[in-house]
Structure 1
Amino acid sequence: MFALFSTRRQAEITRLTWGGFQKDYNRVLVRDMKHPGEKHGNDKWVDLPMEAIRIVDSMPRRRSEIFPYSPDVITANFTRACRLLGIEDLHFHDLRHEGILRLFEMGGNIPHVAAVSGYSSWVSLKRYTHIRETGDKYADWPGLQIAIDTD
Protein backbone atom coordinates (compact mmCIF):
# COMPACT_ATOMS: atom_id res chain seq x y z
CA MET A 1 0.00 0.00 0.00
CA PHE A 2 2.85 2.39 0.74
CA ALA A 3 4.30 1.85 -2.75
CA LEU A 4 0.95 2.73 -4.28
CA PHE A 5 0.25 5.84 -2.23
CA SER A 6 3.81 7.17 -2.14
CA THR A 7 4.70 6.26 -5.76
CA ARG A 8 8.06 5.00 -4.49
CA ARG A 9 10.14 2.33 -6.14
CA GLN A 10 10.87 -0.88 -4.26
CA ALA A 11 14.55 -0.18 -3.52
CA GLU A 12 13.75 3.41 -2.52
CA ILE A 13 11.25 2.18 0.06
CA THR A 14 13.89 -0.01 1.71
CA ARG A 15 16.25 2.99 2.06
CA LEU A 16 13.76 5.30 3.81
CA THR A 17 14.79 6.10 7.39
CA TRP A 18 13.07 7.61 10.39
CA GLY A 19 15.74 10.33 10.38
CA GLY A 20 14.68 11.32 6.86
CA PHE A 21 10.96 11.45 7.63
CA GLN A 22 9.56 14.92 8.31
CA LYS A 23 5.92 14.47 9.23
CA ASP A 24 5.47 18.19 9.92
CA TYR A 25 6.38 18.88 6.28
CA ASN A 26 4.68 15.77 4.77
CA ARG A 27 7.91 14.63 3.19
CA VAL A 28 10.65 12.03 3.27
CA LEU A 29 14.25 11.93 2.05
CA VAL A 30 14.75 9.30 -0.65
CA ARG A 31 18.39 8.27 -0.78
CA ASP A 32 19.95 7.36 -4.12
CA MET A 33 16.74 7.99 -6.04
CA LYS A 34 16.82 6.47 -9.50
CA HIS A 35 18.08 8.96 -12.07
CA PRO A 36 19.27 8.27 -15.62
CA GLY A 37 22.58 10.08 -15.15
CA GLU A 38 23.30 9.67 -11.44
CA LYS A 39 23.51 6.21 -9.88
CA HIS A 40 24.48 7.23 -6.33
CA GLY A 41 24.20 10.38 -4.28
CA ASN A 42 20.94 11.46 -5.88
CA ASP A 43 19.21 12.14 -2.56
CA LYS A 44 15.89 13.95 -2.94
CA TRP A 45 13.10 15.16 -0.67
CA VAL A 46 9.68 14.06 -1.91
CA ASP A 47 6.22 14.91 -0.65
CA LEU A 48 4.06 12.18 0.87
CA PRO A 49 0.28 12.04 0.49
CA MET A 50 -1.65 11.63 3.75
CA GLU A 51 -2.38 7.94 3.06
CA ALA A 52 1.37 7.24 2.84
CA ILE A 53 2.01 9.20 6.05
CA ARG A 54 -0.61 7.11 7.87
CA ILE A 55 1.15 3.95 6.76
CA VAL A 56 4.53 5.27 7.95
CA ASP A 57 2.94 6.23 11.28
CA SER A 58 1.68 2.65 11.69
CA MET A 59 5.20 1.18 11.39
CA PRO A 60 7.08 0.20 14.56
CA ARG A 61 10.30 2.11 15.25
CA ARG A 62 12.56 -0.87 15.84
CA ARG A 63 15.33 0.02 13.39
CA SER A 64 16.57 3.11 11.61
CA GLU A 65 14.74 2.07 8.42
CA ILE A 66 11.01 2.70 8.24
CA PHE A 67 10.53 -0.48 6.20
CA PRO A 68 13.40 -2.78 7.30
CA TYR A 69 13.06 -5.32 4.51
CA SER A 70 15.30 -6.27 1.61
CA PRO A 71 14.09 -5.71 -1.96
CA ASP A 72 14.39 -9.48 -2.56
CA VAL A 73 12.01 -10.25 0.31
CA ILE A 74 9.53 -7.68 -0.99
CA THR A 75 9.72 -9.16 -4.49
CA ALA A 76 9.19 -12.70 -3.23
CA ASN A 77 6.20 -11.74 -1.06
CA PHE A 78 4.63 -9.58 -3.78
CA THR A 79 4.98 -12.38 -6.33
CA ARG A 80 3.57 -14.90 -3.84
CA ALA A 81 0.59 -12.64 -3.03
CA CYS A 82 -0.18 -12.10 -6.72
CA ARG A 83 -0.05 -15.85 -7.35
CA LEU A 84 -2.27 -16.55 -4.32
CA LEU A 85 -4.82 -13.97 -5.50
CA GLY A 86 -4.72 -15.16 -9.11
CA ILE A 87 -3.34 -11.84 -10.37
CA GLU A 88 -1.33 -12.23 -13.56
CA ASP A 89 1.12 -9.85 -15.14
CA LEU A 90 1.37 -7.39 -12.25
CA HIS A 91 4.79 -6.11 -11.28
CA PHE A 92 5.75 -4.15 -8.18
CA HIS A 93 6.76 -1.18 -10.35
CA ASP A 94 3.18 -1.04 -11.68
CA LEU A 95 2.18 0.32 -8.26
CA ARG A 96 4.29 3.44 -8.93
CA HIS A 97 2.51 4.06 -12.21
CA GLU A 98 -0.89 3.47 -10.62
CA GLY A 99 -0.03 5.86 -7.79
CA ILE A 100 0.96 8.63 -10.19
CA LEU A 101 -2.20 8.12 -12.23
CA ARG A 102 -4.21 8.30 -9.01
CA LEU A 103 -2.67 11.67 -8.12
CA PHE A 104 -3.67 13.10 -11.50
CA GLU A 105 -7.16 11.54 -11.32
CA MET A 106 -7.69 13.24 -7.97
CA GLY A 107 -6.95 16.60 -9.57
CA GLY A 108 -3.28 16.91 -8.73
CA ASN A 109 -1.40 19.43 -10.82
CA ILE A 110 1.97 18.81 -12.46
CA PRO A 111 4.09 20.46 -9.70
CA HIS A 112 2.30 18.45 -6.97
CA VAL A 113 2.59 15.12 -8.80
CA ALA A 114 6.25 15.87 -9.56
CA ALA A 115 6.88 16.66 -5.86
CA VAL A 116 5.43 13.28 -4.82
CA SER A 117 6.83 11.13 -7.63
CA GLY A 118 10.24 12.76 -7.78
CA TYR A 119 10.04 13.32 -11.53
CA SER A 120 11.76 16.55 -12.44
CA SER A 121 10.49 16.96 -15.98
CA TRP A 122 7.13 17.20 -17.67
CA VAL A 123 8.41 14.86 -20.38
CA SER A 124 8.55 12.03 -17.84
CA LEU A 125 5.06 12.77 -16.50
CA LYS A 126 3.41 13.03 -19.94
CA ARG A 127 2.86 9.28 -20.12
CA TYR A 128 0.22 9.68 -17.41
CA THR A 129 -1.93 12.24 -19.23
CA HIS A 130 -4.39 9.78 -20.81
CA ILE A 131 -6.55 9.88 -17.68
CA ARG A 132 -10.33 9.79 -17.96
CA GLU A 133 -11.50 9.09 -14.39
CA THR A 134 -11.63 11.67 -11.65
CA GLY A 135 -11.85 11.33 -7.90
CA ASP A 136 -10.18 8.94 -5.51
CA LYS A 137 -11.03 5.41 -6.62
CA TYR A 138 -9.32 4.09 -3.46
CA ALA A 139 -11.35 6.20 -1.03
CA ASP A 140 -13.43 3.22 0.14
CA TRP A 141 -10.72 0.61 -0.29
CA PRO A 142 -10.76 -1.80 2.71
CA GLY A 143 -6.95 -2.04 2.77
CA LEU A 144 -6.66 1.69 3.35
CA GLN A 145 -9.16 1.54 6.18
CA ILE A 146 -7.01 -1.09 7.91
CA ALA A 147 -4.01 1.28 7.77
CA ILE A 148 -6.11 4.15 9.13
CA ASP A 149 -7.58 2.02 11.93
CA THR A 150 -4.11 1.11 13.23
CA ASP A 151 -3.35 4.75 14.10
Structure 2
Amino acid sequence: MRDAITVARRMGIISRSAQRNRRPTLDELDRLLAHFIDRRQRTPQAMPMHKVIVFALFSTRRQAEITRLTWDDFQKEHKRVLVRDMKHPGEKLGNDTWVDLPEEAIRIIDSMRKSKAEIFPYSPDAITANFTRACKLLGIEDLHFHDLRHEGISRLFERGWNIPHVAAVSGHRSWVSLKRYTHIRETGDKYANWPGLQLATGDT
Protein backbone atom coordinates (compact mmCIF):
# COMPACT_ATOMS: atom_id res chain seq x y z
CA MET A 1 0.00 0.00 0.00
CA ARG A 2 2.84 2.36 0.86
CA ASP A 3 4.46 1.74 -2.54
CA ALA A 4 1.15 2.29 -4.32
CA ILE A 5 0.66 5.64 -2.54
CA THR A 6 4.19 6.71 -3.47
CA VAL A 7 3.62 5.87 -7.15
CA ALA A 8 0.22 7.58 -7.15
CA ARG A 9 1.73 10.73 -5.69
CA ARG A 10 4.51 10.75 -8.26
CA MET A 11 1.93 10.47 -11.03
CA GLY A 12 -0.07 13.32 -9.53
CA ILE A 13 -3.12 11.10 -9.03
CA ILE A 14 -3.30 11.97 -5.34
CA SER A 15 -2.01 15.05 -3.59
CA ARG A 16 -2.43 17.14 -0.47
CA SER A 17 -5.91 18.37 0.31
CA ALA A 18 -6.94 21.95 1.08
CA GLN A 19 -4.85 23.61 -1.61
CA ARG A 20 -4.22 27.28 -0.99
CA ASN A 21 -5.42 29.79 -3.53
CA ARG A 22 -4.13 32.98 -1.89
CA ARG A 23 -2.54 35.33 -4.39
CA PRO A 24 -0.76 38.57 -3.49
CA THR A 25 -2.08 41.81 -4.89
CA LEU A 26 0.19 44.27 -6.66
CA ASP A 27 -0.35 46.68 -3.76
CA GLU A 28 0.81 44.06 -1.25
CA LEU A 29 3.88 43.28 -3.33
CA ASP A 30 4.69 46.98 -3.74
CA ARG A 31 4.49 47.46 0.02
CA LEU A 32 6.72 44.47 0.69
CA LEU A 33 9.33 45.63 -1.81
CA ALA A 34 9.30 49.17 -0.44
CA HIS A 35 9.79 47.80 3.07
CA PHE A 36 12.74 45.61 2.15
CA ILE A 37 14.39 48.20 -0.09
CA ASP A 38 14.19 50.74 2.73
CA ARG A 39 15.70 48.22 5.15
CA ARG A 40 18.45 47.41 2.67
CA GLN A 41 19.30 51.10 2.29
CA ARG A 42 19.52 51.51 6.05
CA THR A 43 21.33 48.19 6.59
CA PRO A 44 23.37 47.30 3.47
CA GLN A 45 24.32 43.88 4.85
CA ALA A 46 20.67 42.85 5.13
CA MET A 47 19.39 40.15 2.80
CA PRO A 48 18.02 41.63 -0.47
CA MET A 49 14.56 40.21 0.14
CA HIS A 50 13.08 42.40 -2.58
CA LYS A 51 15.17 40.48 -5.12
CA VAL A 52 14.31 37.12 -3.57
CA ILE A 53 10.58 37.89 -3.63
CA VAL A 54 10.53 39.03 -7.25
CA PHE A 55 12.69 36.09 -8.33
CA ALA A 56 10.35 33.65 -6.55
CA LEU A 57 7.39 35.22 -8.31
CA PHE A 58 8.78 35.07 -11.83
CA SER A 59 10.74 31.81 -11.53
CA THR A 60 7.99 29.98 -9.54
CA ARG A 61 10.69 28.51 -7.30
CA ARG A 62 10.24 27.46 -3.66
CA GLN A 63 12.45 29.17 -1.06
CA ALA A 64 14.58 26.07 -0.44
CA GLU A 65 15.14 25.64 -4.19
CA ILE A 66 16.13 29.29 -4.55
CA THR A 67 18.87 28.92 -1.94
CA ARG A 68 20.35 25.88 -3.74
CA LEU A 69 20.75 27.54 -7.13
CA THR A 70 24.41 28.01 -8.07
CA TRP A 71 26.19 30.12 -10.65
CA ASP A 72 27.70 26.97 -12.18
CA ASP A 73 24.21 25.54 -12.73
CA PHE A 74 22.89 28.68 -14.43
CA GLN A 75 22.91 28.60 -18.23
CA LYS A 76 21.92 32.06 -19.36
CA GLU A 77 22.38 31.26 -23.04
CA HIS A 78 19.80 28.47 -22.73
CA LYS A 79 17.61 30.43 -20.29
CA ARG A 80 17.57 27.64 -17.75
CA VAL A 81 18.97 26.58 -14.38
CA LEU A 82 19.50 23.24 -12.67
CA VAL A 83 17.44 22.92 -9.48
CA ARG A 84 19.21 20.53 -7.15
CA ASP A 85 17.10 18.13 -5.12
CA MET A 86 13.77 19.49 -6.33
CA LYS A 87 10.87 18.63 -4.07
CA HIS A 88 8.35 16.11 -5.36
CA PRO A 89 5.14 14.83 -3.73
CA GLY A 90 5.64 11.66 -1.71
CA GLU A 91 9.43 11.89 -1.74
CA LYS A 92 11.69 13.14 1.04
CA LEU A 93 14.33 13.98 -1.54
CA GLY A 94 13.72 15.11 -5.08
CA ASN A 95 15.85 14.92 -8.17
CA ASP A 96 18.04 17.42 -9.96
CA THR A 97 15.85 19.07 -12.59
CA TRP A 98 16.51 21.58 -15.35
CA VAL A 99 13.86 24.29 -15.46
CA ASP A 100 13.32 27.15 -17.89
CA LEU A 101 13.75 30.70 -16.64
CA PRO A 102 11.47 33.52 -17.79
CA GLU A 103 13.30 36.66 -18.86
CA GLU A 104 12.27 38.50 -15.69
CA ALA A 105 13.89 35.85 -13.48
CA ILE A 106 17.11 36.06 -15.51
CA ARG A 107 17.18 39.83 -14.98
CA ILE A 108 17.10 39.27 -11.21
CA ILE A 109 19.97 36.78 -11.40
CA ASP A 110 21.98 39.24 -13.50
CA SER A 111 21.55 41.82 -10.74
CA MET A 112 23.01 39.55 -8.04
CA ARG A 113 26.65 39.79 -6.99
CA LYS A 114 28.86 36.73 -7.41
CA SER A 115 30.05 36.57 -3.81
CA LYS A 116 29.57 32.84 -3.24
CA ALA A 117 28.86 29.66 -5.18
CA GLU A 118 25.13 30.09 -4.62
CA ILE A 119 23.25 32.79 -6.50
CA PHE A 120 21.13 33.47 -3.41
CA PRO A 121 23.44 32.49 -0.50
CA TYR A 122 20.81 32.55 2.23
CA SER A 123 18.87 30.00 4.27
CA PRO A 124 15.24 29.02 3.59
CA ASP A 125 14.36 29.66 7.24
CA ALA A 126 15.76 33.20 7.05
CA ILE A 127 13.73 33.93 3.92
CA THR A 128 10.53 32.64 5.54
CA ALA A 129 11.17 34.53 8.78
CA ASN A 130 11.87 37.81 6.99
CA PHE A 131 8.78 37.45 4.81
CA THR A 132 6.49 36.52 7.70
CA ARG A 133 7.72 39.38 9.90
CA ALA A 134 7.28 41.91 7.10
CA CYS A 135 3.73 40.76 6.37
CA LYS A 136 2.83 41.08 10.05
CA LEU A 137 4.40 44.53 10.27
CA LEU A 138 2.63 45.73 7.13
CA GLY A 139 -0.73 44.24 8.08
CA ILE A 140 -0.77 41.81 5.16
CA GLU A 141 -2.88 38.88 6.29
CA ASP A 142 -2.63 35.20 5.39
CA LEU A 143 0.14 35.53 2.83
CA HIS A 144 2.87 32.87 2.77
CA PHE A 145 6.10 32.93 0.80
CA HIS A 146 4.98 29.79 -1.04
CA ASP A 147 1.98 31.75 -2.37
CA LEU A 148 4.43 33.52 -4.68
CA ARG A 149 4.92 30.23 -6.53
CA HIS A 150 1.16 29.88 -6.96
CA GLU A 151 0.98 33.46 -8.20
CA GLY A 152 3.84 32.91 -10.64
CA ILE A 153 2.26 29.79 -12.12
CA SER A 154 -1.14 31.49 -12.36
CA ARG A 155 0.50 34.40 -14.18
CA LEU A 156 1.95 32.10 -16.84
CA PHE A 157 -1.48 30.61 -17.53
CA GLU A 158 -2.99 34.09 -17.64
CA ARG A 159 -0.47 34.94 -20.33
CA GLY A 160 -1.87 32.10 -22.40
CA TRP A 161 0.86 29.53 -21.84
CA ASN A 162 -0.11 25.87 -22.21
CA ILE A 163 0.51 23.17 -19.58
CA PRO A 164 3.77 21.76 -21.08
CA HIS A 165 5.23 25.27 -21.36
CA VAL A 166 4.32 26.12 -17.75
CA ALA A 167 5.61 22.75 -16.50
CA ALA A 168 9.00 23.49 -18.09
CA VAL A 169 9.24 26.49 -15.75
CA SER A 170 7.51 25.16 -12.64
CA GLY A 171 9.21 21.76 -12.77
CA HIS A 172 6.02 19.76 -12.32
CA ARG A 173 6.58 16.15 -13.32
CA SER A 174 2.92 15.45 -13.79
CA TRP A 175 0.70 17.76 -15.79
CA VAL A 176 -2.17 16.49 -13.61
CA SER A 177 -0.80 18.70 -10.83
CA LEU A 178 -1.37 21.74 -13.02
CA LYS A 179 -5.01 20.97 -13.77
CA ARG A 180 -6.06 23.19 -10.87
CA TYR A 181 -5.00 26.14 -13.03
CA THR A 182 -6.93 25.16 -16.14
CA HIS A 183 -9.92 27.30 -15.10
CA ILE A 184 -7.77 30.37 -15.74
CA ARG A 185 -8.50 32.05 -19.02
CA GLU A 186 -5.98 34.26 -20.78
CA THR A 187 -6.24 37.77 -19.34
CA GLY A 188 -2.86 39.27 -20.21
CA ASP A 189 0.02 40.09 -17.91
CA LYS A 190 -0.72 42.36 -14.96
CA TYR A 191 3.03 42.52 -14.32
CA ALA A 192 3.78 44.12 -17.68
CA ASN A 193 5.63 47.37 -16.97
CA TRP A 194 5.44 46.64 -13.23
CA PRO A 195 7.82 49.06 -11.42
CA GLY A 196 8.60 46.35 -8.88
CA LEU A 197 10.70 44.45 -11.40
CA GLN A 198 12.77 47.51 -12.16
CA LEU A 199 13.29 48.18 -8.45
CA ALA A 200 14.38 44.59 -7.84
CA THR A 201 16.95 44.63 -10.61
CA GLY A 202 18.70 47.71 -9.24
CA ASP A 203 21.92 47.78 -7.25
CA THR A 204 20.18 48.07 -3.87
* TM-score tier after normalising by the smaller chain length: over 0.9
Structure-2 residue corresponding to 1:87: 140
Asked whether the equivalents of residues 111 and 202 of structure 2 are also in contact (C-alpha less than 8 Å), the reply is no
Structure-2 residue corresponding to 1:107: 160
Displacement of 1:148 in angstroms is 4.4
Q: Which runs of 4+ in 1 moved over 4 A?
A: none
Q: Helix, strand or coil for the counterpart of 2:179?
A: helix
Counterpart of 1:48, as a letter, is L
Displacement of 1:81 in angstroms is 1.7
Displacement of 1:146 in angstroms is 1.5
Asked whether the equivalents of residues 54 and 147 of structure 1 are also in contact (C-alpha less than 8 Å), the reply is no
Counterpart of 1:99, as a letter, is G
- TM score, norm. by length of structure 2: 0.70
Question: CA-atom RMSD, angstroms?
Answer: 1.4
Inter-partner Cα distance in structure 1 for 2:161 and 2:70:
27
Structure-2 residue corresponding to 1:136: 189
Structure-1 residue corresponding to 2:75: 22
- TM score, norm. by length of structure 1: 0.93
1:67 aligns with 2:120: yes
* Residue range with higher mean Cα deviation, 73-82 or 129-138: 129-138
* Residue range with higher mean Cα deviation, 61-70 or 125-134: 125-134
Counterpart of 1:44, as a letter, is T
Counterpart of 1:13, as a letter, is I
Displacement of 1:107 in angstroms is 1.1
Aligned to 1:39, which of 70, 84, 92? 92
Structure-2 residue corresponding to 1:124: 177
Counterpart of 1:146, as a letter, is L
Per-residue CA deviation, residues 25-81 of structure 1 (Å, 9 max, x unaligned), is: 000000000012443350000000000000000000000000000011101110122
Aligned to 1:77, which of 130, 141, 146? 130
Asked whether the equivalents of residues 159 and 187 of structure 2 are also in contact (C-alpha less than 8 Å), the reply is yes
Structure-2 residue corresponding to 1:3: 56
Instruction: Identify unmatched segments of 5+ residues in structure 1.
Output: none
Instruction: Identify unmatched segments of 5+ residues in structure 2.
Output: 1-53
Q: May I ask how many residue pairs the two structures share in their alignment?
A: 150
Structure-2 residue corresponding to 1:12: 65
Larger CA Rg, structure 1 vs 2: 2
1:58 aligns with 2:111: yes
Displacement of 1:133 in angstroms is 5.2
How many percent identity over aligned positions?
82
Q: Helix, strand or coil for the counterpart of 1:125?
A: helix
